[in-house]
Structures are given as C-alpha cells and as structure tokens.
Structure 1
Amino acid sequence: MRTDVQNFAVANLRRRPEPVEVGGFVAGFDPSTKEPYLNYATPLAGCRPTDADVAALIGAFRERGLLPRLEFAPDAVPEVAPALRRAGFVTEATHSYLVCTPEALTPPAGPGVPVVETPGSDEEYAAVDAALSAAFGGEFPPSAEGVARLRRTEDSGGATRFVRAPGGLVAGAGTCSPPAEGTSELAGVGTRPEFRGRGVAGAVTAALTAALFDRGAESVWLEASGDGSRRVYERLGYRVSGTRLYLRLP
C-alpha cells in the first residue's frame, strides 16, 4: 500500500493560505474563493475519527460558509470513510491515481511534438488561466485570483507550463505542485477543444513531470479523468497505483 500520495495531501494542505487542523484532519482554506475544489480537507496519517471529530470538521467548513468536502486515499486511512458516511457524507467521485518515477518517464518524441513554454509575463499567465477555463468548459472562470495561483505555483517550487497557439491564445496548459513527502501532484492539464488531438496534453504533462524531477521529486502523481487521458499518461510512463476518494456533505 502506498502512503506517499496521502502524506503529500496532508503536507500540501498545510501550505495553503489558511490551514486548519481539527479532529484528526487538516483542511486547506483559500479565503479568496469559496470554490469547493480549492477548499477541502484530508485525514492525517493514522486518523481514526470519532463522530465528534467529524462534527468539529464540519463546523470548520460551516463557519466559513463552505461546503464540507474531503479528498483522500482510502486505503491509507481505512476508518475515515465509514465515519464520514455516518455523518451524511456522500461520494462525489472515485478516481484512480497514476504515478511516474524518473526512470519510467518517456517523453513524446518526433517533429510534430508541440513546443512547451514556461509563462513569464502577466499576459502569459492570464492566457494560461483563460485556456484552462475553456478546457474545462468554463467551470472555473478566468480571474485575477486564478492568475495569482498559477504564478504562485511556479514561484514556490512547482511548475506551470503551456503550449502557445496562433493569435496569442494558449492551446493547453497544466500545473504541478511543489514537492512534498518526496512526491508532487500534477493537476489541471487541459487543452482548448479546438486544439485537442494534437499532442498538447502529452507534451505539457511530460514537461511538467520532468521539471519536478529536476526539482528533486522522487515521483509525480496524477488522476486520470477518463480512459483517453489515462492512455496518454501511460504512454509517458505513468502507472495506476491506487484510488482517491472524494466525499462531500450535501
């Protein structure tokens, strides 16, 4: 059983703008947004929560006007999900996660591979933010806060990478968090619909993965949203290594 991904989740939330530890959980809050995907909790190693612990966690979300929500690897903390379900939490999603190590990384090769760049100017970061919004159907509207988060990721030891498109657009992009507990999470790789099928996601993923290995990560992990993206990641050297569970309180 791998524990590095769950240990990473704890360490990553502890470096959020407003981390709170309560009842055997750590919650990472971002006061700039009420977006549930940016305000969530995860259990600490060895967590065996009581009903009172879960109630205290719910209270930390409610007092901020936020939806109680958790992300975690259930195999690493087997007593957590049953305690949360007793309190009314329901499954939002269950995803497999894939892990890549330096010796397994196989970047795409050939003359048609898109050129991957690192944003530098405010305009480039804003274009990346807009491209990711378009890639995910506008679920996350472009914003100054989104631009700031992208720049903060790069400046804090993680990575933001993109593929440029004609006319000043960004065809696709993604981010990778700063390493913690020996690993790093690659997340939010997206391609504008009109540029899909051209190898953009694979090129961005490979570049991000290599960048974090250069910065000392012993592994990089990610979650695949479907069979198509999973095949892209597997071609790059990623392998399925476990499951992550998303729970929320309706």
Structure 2
Amino acid sequence: MLNRLENYYDAAPRSAARAEEFGPLTLFVREGAGWPYYARPALGHDGEVPVAAVEKVRARQRELGAPEAFEWVAETTPGLRAAVEASGLVVHEHPLMVLDAEAEALPALPEGFTVRLVDGADPGLESAVAAPYAAFGAEPTPAAAAQVAARIGAGLTRLAAAFDASGTALAAGQHQPVGAVSEVVGVGTRPEARRRGLGLAVTAALVADARAAGVETVFLTATDDTVARLYARLGFRTVATALIAEPAEENAPEA
C-alpha cells in the first residue's frame, strides 16, 4: 500500500508542476495559479538524506519565492526527518488514512443543503473553489476557478461542494485521480458553516465519485487525530504518518 501511495505522490504533482531533482529529493514547482507545491523524497529513495541536500532545496525554494516546505511519509523515508530538523525546520505529524474497500457508511446531510459534483460550466464553480480558501483564511487568485475548470475538463480533478438554498458553496473539496489511486484534498468549510457535517458530506460525495470511476485506492491526510476520527466514520483507517516540515512560525517569511 505505501509503495502504491509513493508512486501516486510522485506522479500527481507533475500535471501542474515541473520537477527539479536534488539527488535524494525532488522539488515540485507549480506552474500557473494554485496552492504551491513542496519538496519530497525522490521516488524509490528510502535511505538517509544529507542535511546539505535539504539546505540546497530550501535555497532554491527561497530563490523561487516558494514556501520552504517538505512532505513525506514517515514509515517510507524515515531518514529524512533528522535532516530537515537539523536544517531548522519544524516537523508536523498527521494521520495518513486509506479507505477500507468494504466501507459503506454515509453521513446524513443537514437539512437545507445539497451536495453535488461541480463541473467547469456549473454556476457554483467559483464559490466552490473559494470555500476551501476561506476555510484557511485565504482568497483564491483570479485565475483559480478557471484553472480548476481546466483540470476538471482534463480529468485531473473532481470537485464536490455543499450548497445552501441560495446556491452558495459553504464547503468543498477535490479528489485527484491518477490511474487506480486518488487522494481527497483541500476539503474545507467556510468558518460560518462549520460543525454541521458539511465537510464530511463533501468527502463522502468524493469517495462515491471515485469509486464509481473505478478508483481502487482512496486516501487522505487528516489534520489531527480528532479529524481522523471523523473520517473513520466514512471507513478511512490510519495506515501511516504523513509528515510536513516548514519553518518555525517566528522564522517563517511574511506573506
């Protein structure tokens, strides 16, 4: 399973980013609008990583104006953590979860809301793209909706959203299929609509869509153990630990 996820992690960013190789590390550099990418272990590398390699990648990220971020799976590349910590980055742990093949439970949708898949011509596209940004206190770029529409049209992204009676998306998320594997990403609920189960309903819609398309492995990274327990209600189980490294808050560059 972890090997399958590693192949996905290496393949998925390449549809929207170029890959720059730094020995045991690969830096993905986003091309166009959207959330920036990160560096991660080169596919197949599971040994030690020199601190110098991490520092070389960080220097390149600063040169590009990209976040100094690294993402990897603890159990797959255990030798990377010491190197990124020695370079001064802080490592955060998150549950890495895979959907059980037999999972069938679906959450009840709160009254007054609808959940649907959104395509590039949907009038709710812009609010669906904006909802996860709002969840994290950010604003989408002017080109964000057009980029998502293009990815939907190319079969690279599937977008689902929960809409209120006015047709405004209050929660949304995506899954991004690569062959028989897809990751659920960017699920977020606008602050004023939280604690209503909308994010879980969106995730359930994405899971159903992935399965209907023949995806065999659906996975996601939960924020923490509390959120992981919510996803467990849909049949996700923790299989490993996803690690994200970034500068300490006091050292992080200003936005």
The alpha-carbon deviation at position 233 of structure 1 amounts to 1.2
Q: How does 1:65-104 map to 2 (within 5 A)?
A: 65-91=65-91, 93-104=92-103
Q: Is the 8 A contact 1:24 1:53 kept in 2?
A: yes
Which ranges of structure 2 fall in alignment gaps of 5 or more residues?
none
User: Hey, what's the Cα distance between the residues in 2 that align with 1:197 and 1:243?
Assistant: 26
Tell me how far 1:110 sits from its aligned partner.
Answer: 7.8
User: How far apart, in 2, do the equivalents of 1:152 and 1:102 lie?
Assistant: 30
Does the CA-based 8 Å contact 2:25-2:39 persist in structure 1? yes
Is the CA contact (8 Å cut-off) linking 1:16 and 1:28 kept in structure 2? no
- Provide closer, same or farther for how the CA distance between residues 111 and 160 of structure 1 changes in structure 2, counting only shifts above 3 A: closer
1:104 Cα offset (Å)? 1.8
What per-residue deviation string (whole Å, max 9, x for no partner) do you get for residues 93-147 of structure 1?
A: 21112110342242235895953212233642211122223323x2x21222321
* Aligned 8 A contact 2:104 2:235 in 1: yes
What's 1:30 paired with?
A: 30
Counterpart amino acid of 1:165? D
Counterpart residue number, 2:196: 198
Give the drift of 1:88. Answer: 2.6
Number of the residue aligned with 2:245 = 247
* Distance across 1 between alignment mates of 2:105 and 2:60: 43
When the two structures are superposed, what TM-score results if normalisation uses the length of structure 2? 0.83
Q: Is the 8 A contact 1:98 1:242 kept in 2?
A: yes
Corresponding residue of 1:116: 115
Q: Secondary structure at the match of 2:2?
A: coil
Identity %: 30
Q: CA separation of 1:113/1:94 partners in 2, compared to 1, >3 Å: closer, same or farther?
A: farther
Equivalenced residue count is 244
Say whether the 8 Å CA contact 1:106–1:237 is kept in structure 2: yes
Aligned-residue CA RMSD (Å): 2.6
Gaps of 5+ in 1: none
TM-score, normalised via structure 1 length: 0.84
SS at match of 1:98: strand
Deviation at 1:8, TM superposition (A): 1.9
Within-5 A mapping of 1:31-46? 31-32=31-32, 38-44=36-42, 45-46=44-45
The one-letter amino acid paired with 1:41 is: A
* Moved beyond 4 Å, runs of 4+: 109-114
Deviations 1:13-33 (A, max 9, x none): 333332222222222212445
Structure 1 residues 69, 198: closer, same or farther in 2, change over 3 A? closer
Task: Check whether the contact 2:95–2:224 (CA below 8 A) recurs between aligned residues.
Answer: no
Equivalent residues in 2 for 1:46-65, closer than 5 Å: 46-48=45-47, 49-65=49-65
Match of 1:18 in 2: 18
